[in-house]
Structure 1
Amino acid sequence: MNLKPESAFGSPFDSSKPLPDFDRAFVTLTERSDIGCILLNSAVDTKEVVSSIADSLGFEVPVSAAIPSGHGPGAVVWLTPRSWLIPCPVSEEFGLIARINAAFPDKRVHASAFSDYLCWLEIGGKEAHTLLTSAGFLSLEIAGLKTGHAKRTLLAGIPVVVVRNGDARWTLGVERSRLVYFTGFLRDSAARERAIAGRVN
């Protein structure tokens, strides 16, 4: 038997596939199985290891929730004072993990693959923000979540990592077991917005 890894929607890994039933004039939703993910944990105070982490990665990691750090397909996401999510191309995932773990043989910092747990979607278009805010709060700041910033929040009752890539483009990290439900919610919301727009016009 030949077991071939697939994304949550049956696509091969390292691919990008638009999901059906979204009107491109309003919004697009794309499964991004070309985005890998690393979970990085520190067993000690971040101040002791943050410069060594940056050296092993080749880029900085944020030291607080308010500071963005761009790399690869998305921002490095601050989870806690001692943990981060690092989105990266699938092809780079294990190389980055090996570099980090080699730099910390004492396990003060440990990196592990997280792609089997967290799936990525990209949502874009003029109604993207409307759909996301119909699912929950994106930010309590007056100007909203700034470009380049990332946060964890509840959308449609599901924990989601939200990265704002541009004015109308977002990357969303969703648990694999909840991805079908979450995309169904967005599909229903998009259909509702199209119906409202049709009545207004």
Structure 2
Amino acid sequence: MMLDAISPLGHPVGQSVPMELFPNCNVLERSDLGAVLCVATDAGTKFSKALSKVVGCPMPEEHGAYTTQENRRALWLSPRSWIVLCDLNEEQKLVEAVTAAHPDHAVLATRFSDALGWISLQGETAEGLLRQGSFLSFVAGGFPVGHAKRTLIAGIPAVVLREAETSWLVGLERSRTRYFSEWLAGLTESFGEPK
């Protein structure tokens, strides 16, 4: 018997599936993204430069801006951990490369796409939709493009990336992705008025 992998919302893995929720905001489930969690046994700054060479993307050394190189993005999670977003088919290669570069297990890498569900929101109303469940930023200028942070949205722990002015990517624990999508479906683009 063969089991087929499915996304947190029940779609085949490896696809970007539209959710058809709002006329002015494209919402997609992104199971086409691979994710590798890298955790260091000591301060991440001791490993970030060497790890950057291994994963092919500069590793951020503090919270805030995420880094990109080619088709990879690296997000700072904590002083000792990062998430590297990549093509789904590159996930295992990255894990193996990090393991080979650190045979002493000073940095551990694990496939993380099974742990997180990714939802993309693109459109003029995307920020307003997310704000209905969270304070995205307390900074006077708002949440800057090219930055990422950990926060709660609708009471759910999430990793949020602002990819462009009207483009957001939200990573959620797999078990809470369906709840988040149901919460999102209950929102209105008119912010407070019934649908």
Question: Within 5 A, what are the aligned runs for 1:1-201?
Answer: 1-20=1-20, 22-24=21-23, 26-71=24-69, 75-190=73-188, 193=190, 196=193
Alpha-carbon RMSD: 1.9
Q: Distance in 2 between matches of 1:74 and 1:17?
A: 21
Q: TM-score, normalised by structure 2?
A: 0.93
Q: Distance in 1 between matches of 2:77 and 2:145?
A: 18
Structure 2 contact 74–82 (Cα < 8 Å) conserved: yes
Cα gap change, 1:74 to 1:103, in 2 (>3 Å): closer
Higher share in helix: 1
Residues 35-44 or 72-81, more deviating? 72-81
SS of the counterpart of 1:136? coil
Deviation at 1:73, TM superposition (A): 6.0
Cα gap change, 1:136 to 1:74, in 2 (>3 Å): farther
Q: Distance in 1 between matches of 2:104 and 2:4?
A: 34
Deviation at 1:193, TM superposition (A): 2.4
Residue type at the aligned position of 2:43? D
Structure 1 contact 71–88 (Cα < 8 Å) conserved: no
Q: Distance in 1 between matches of 2:134 and 2:73?
A: 21
SS of the counterpart of 1:41? strand
- Per-residue Cα deviation, 1:108-164 (whole angstroms, up to 9, x for no partner): 001001111101110011111110001111111111111111001000000011000
Residue type at the aligned position of 1:119? G
Residue type at the aligned position of 1:106? D
Cα gap change, 1:74 to 1:140, in 2 (>3 Å): farther
- Structure 2: gaps (5+ residues): none
Deviation at 1:62, TM superposition (A): 0.3
Cα gap change, 1:72 to 1:152, in 2 (>3 Å): farther
Structure 1 contact 38–113 (Cα < 8 Å) conserved: yes
SS of the counterpart of 2:171? strand
Q: TM-score, normalised by structure 1?
A: 0.90
Residue type at the aligned position of 2:97? R
